[in-house]
Structure 1
């Protein structure tokens, strides 16, 4: 039998070390190594086949497979993000910042399913049962037949769930509070999170009950615990947004039963999370008159276009002062690149100008197709000439000043046409969609001349 030995496992990244040290050598976190039991010589040991084994049945790749039957949650944006509905026997992991609304969303999903006649169990390891009931009352869900429990023992939870008819949905809030008596360690440690998740996932596969695990996140936004946790589950969902802003985005990071190119958009309201069928309404400003320093960009979230407003402000300084560059919702390094391209290719000087850039509504842009919209907002702010109100702007800018094509341009144009936009400033060669008139630009100078009227 292999000899037991103590190792030290990092609670932030899951790496192991044979001795304790203050800082993890892999993730550079401090005071995260915790002593855990393991087994040595496990990799050098060989299987003894003299006792026989069970032969595995091999099948062909072209065997017919039935598509999984999905259970509609009753919340269309939630179903959209996970691929069309909840798959029985699947395991989902939902992560997000504290207070972002993970528990609120899952409580609403649980209540919708329970009201539709499905058996739903909600297990809270962080709050007492009365606290969950009070939240349900605030959300108007007090009369929903959701079975509620406050427990942290995985053995007790599985024993309870095994009695009677298996539930259609089980919500565990959260996996970091669960404790398995099969392994030593406090709740929240790497070994406990791994062991607890493994038992709950096994129950999901054996009983055909869908299990949703709520996961805490670290300060860098990744889900706390071992990375193997994300490999064990079928779907990993990230609930994103800023607590100071209204909108929330449910994004599928991993999905074995669907694509990861869809998002669900919600708005946090007094009565809980409300679905947003038209996300562009959250990020567009309604105004009667044109304002300089703004440009509308059709962002793309997976296959879902979202129109956002990019705002720019320039302030001329006295000579000798050092100008500031500030960007909210946009990469500051990319802003510097666009400013350099405007100076080198268009002859516009920002050396004595402070530049402030903001993406309205707290939205964060990473799409390089927003380069042209940012440039248009900057030129508009500096010249105090506005971009037409019915125009959208999109295109990637190269260091040479060339305006490069963008991905899924027809999809972006169709969404803009639905919202009443009549023209688009885009890379040259872009085709019209939805009746939108397209003005093509081969380089950045053409855009600047259009705004400046040169």
Structure 2
């Protein structure tokens, strides 16, 4: 004790970067999410003791009363058109007032470019938009904006990292849409840890959520991602927001895929496809044609299959390369699909149709950079492996889809009519489908040959 006053003790706690679990000591494995080596040390200010006795909600009479379903009033959510069809599709029809949207993606993928285009379109509808950047200067933003086109005067920009100043600017300008780029650069003065830490990200998001709900403002939050592809910061961050969007793709390629992994106002199955051009991101309204562009002719190991993302069927080229191994242990590699699923299908081919793949390396790739885990690709992957192994090309006008079981049977998949219609639209003549769908698809589809197969061996006989 010095001078009659006790020195303030600095408290140190440990937070899990994955789920936000708090502990007074470091632990190797998090008890909350069971992840290893995710705890980081942070210093926090001790909570000040409130003076006087706090009154309860019951004594003051200020509390929310439980209501029944019949007492709840229903109304349609007010949505704003972003004038980007693919973006509206992923959001579920447009921007919902008062929603909090988290946008994640790799560095340089185009998150800021997409949101700047959205901000420009909204401001063109006489909507007040505030773009807050903690990473770029105003001159850097203007350079990018000049490349994208003209913008309305209702779009305002602010370079600030202090959350108190950001909140003050929002209260004064009262915009309809706010874009925070990025949440890892925001600093809340009430939290003593450094910007980007678990505490700062969590508390800053809580402040922005309160602003969005209390002022009925749509708030976009840009989040950095970890090397595993997850949004950096505590896992609770994704639970706090209304919508979580991931921007995927190779930064060195032209395509981009926008995917919703959480959406309280729409489906989480829809995707949006974009192409990076000189003047920003352009919509790809026909992803199937885009994915099949440049497909080789009369090449073995190439088969077209069909996946469904939400309500949209997308044709994808499956490529396989089977070659003799130079090592004692054959190598397996899968790009765009599940590696373990490919190993399982190769085991089915060995066991059920006698394809000796033990001395062969196998590489499977989904052309176009798509990442698909839908089981309807199974039949296409099996046919591509068989085609490459036997070095016999499959006709360019043939498409195949269906789930393959461990007994080698080909099982039915959903939305068969939509898949066949998409194939017919792009000029395919023959469609290999599960036997259970053959009669149904023959009745609903005209102008395309439908061939049903009950097993992988039946499909192999066709090629």
TM-score by length of 2: 0.89
Q: Report the CA distance shift for 1:311/1:112 in structure 2 as closer, same or farther (over 3 A).
A: same
Q: Is the 8 A contact 2:193 2:199 kept in 1?
A: yes
Which residue number in structure 2 is paired with residue 232 of structure 1?
A: 240
Q: Report the CA distance shift for 1:128/1:429 in structure 2 as closer, same or farther (over 3 A).
A: same
Pairing partner for 2:80 from 58, 71, 76: 71
Q: Is the 8 A contact 1:9 1:36 kept in 2?
A: no
Query: Per-residue CA shift, 1:335-376, capped at 9, x if unaligned?
Result: 222222112211222233332221111222211111110111
Q: Is the 8 A contact 1:314 1:353 kept in 2?
A: yes
Counterpart check, 1:135 vs 2:144 = yes
Structure 2: how far apart are the matches of 1:75 and 1:220? 29
Aligned length: 444
Q: Report the CA distance shift for 1:37/1:288 in structure 2 as closer, same or farther (over 3 A).
A: closer
SS in structure 2 of the partner of residue 386 of structure 1 = coil
Pairing partner for 1:309 from 280, 293, 317: 317
Structure 2: how far apart are the matches of 1:154 and 1:185? 14
1:124: how far off?
0.1
Counterpart check, 1:149 vs 2:158 = yes
- Structure 2: stretches of 5+ with no match in the other structure: 1-8, 49-53
* Superposition map of 1:233-382 within 5 A: 233-286=241-294, 289-316=297-324, 322-382=329-389
SS in structure 1 of the partner of residue 80 of structure 2 = coil
Which residue number in structure 1 is paired with residue 178 of structure 2?
A: 170
Q: Report the CA distance shift for 1:322/1:182 in structure 2 as closer, same or farther (over 3 A).
A: closer
Q: Is the 8 A contact 1:12 1:29 kept in 2?
A: no
Which residue number in structure 2 is paired with residue 43 of structure 1?
A: none
1:299: how far off?
1.1
Q: Is the 8 A contact 1:8 1:36 kept in 2?
A: no
Structure 2: how far apart are the matches of 1:321 and 1:29? 35
Q: Report the CA distance shift for 1:428/1:157 in structure 2 as closer, same or farther (over 3 A).
A: same
TM-score by length of 1: 0.90
Structure 2: how far apart are the matches of 1:156 and 1:93? 21
Which residue number in structure 1 is paired with residue 453 of structure 2?
A: 441
Counterpart check, 1:421 vs 2:433 = no
* Superposition map of 1:182-193 within 5 A: 182-193=190-201
1:125: how far off?
0.7
1:417: how far off?
2.0
Structure 1: how far apart are the matches of 2:35 and 2:296? 52
Q: Report the CA distance shift for 1:195/1:316 in structure 2 as closer, same or farther (over 3 A).
A: closer
Pairing partner for 1:91 from 74, 79, 100: 100
Q: Report the CA distance shift for 1:314/1:227 in structure 2 as closer, same or farther (over 3 A).
A: closer
Which residue number in structure 2 is paired with residue 119 of structure 1?
A: 128
Q: Is the 8 A contact 1:12 1:32 kept in 2?
A: no
1:322: how far off?
4.5
Structure 1: how far apart are the matches of 2:347 and 2:461? 17
Structure 2: how far apart are the matches of 1:373 and 1:156? 55
1:311: how far off?
0.9
Q: Is the 8 A contact 1:14 1:226 kept in 2?
A: yes
Which residue number in structure 2 is paired with residue 60 of structure 1?
A: 68
Which residue number in structure 1 is paired with residue 188 of structure 2?
A: 180
Which residue number in structure 2 is paired with residue 19 of structure 1?
A: 25
Structure 2: how far apart are the matches of 1:265 and 1:58? 44
- Structure 1: stretches of 5+ with no match in the other structure: 41-45
1:174: how far off?
0.7
1:39: how far off?
6.1
Q: Report the CA distance shift for 1:27/1:354 in structure 2 as closer, same or farther (over 3 A).
A: closer
Pairing partner for 2:462 from 446, 450, 454: 450
1:126: how far off?
1.0
> Relative to structure 2, which stretch is displaced further, 351-360 or 423-432?
351-360
1:143: how far off?
6.3
Structure 1: how far apart are the matches of 2:403 and 2:58? 64
Structure 1: how far apart are the matches of 2:176 and 2:300? 54
Q: Report the CA distance shift for 1:35/1:13 in structure 2 as closer, same or farther (over 3 A).
A: farther
Q: Is the 8 A contact 1:247 1:282 kept in 2?
A: no
Q: Is the 8 A contact 2:14 2:26 kept in 1?
A: yes
Q: Is the 8 A contact 1:73 1:112 kept in 2?
A: yes
* Superposition map of 1:95-106 within 5 A: 95-106=104-115
Query: Per-residue CA shift, 1:254-283, capped at 9, x if unaligned?
Result: 111122121111111222111010111221
Query: Per-residue CA shift, 1:387-424, capped at 9, x if unaligned?
Result: 22222111111111111111222222222222222221
Structure 2: how far apart are the matches of 1:102 and 1:18? 37
Counterpart check, 1:393 vs 2:400 = yes
SS in structure 1 of the partner of residue 172 of structure 2 = coil
Q: Report the CA distance shift for 1:105/1:57 in structure 2 as closer, same or farther (over 3 A).
A: same
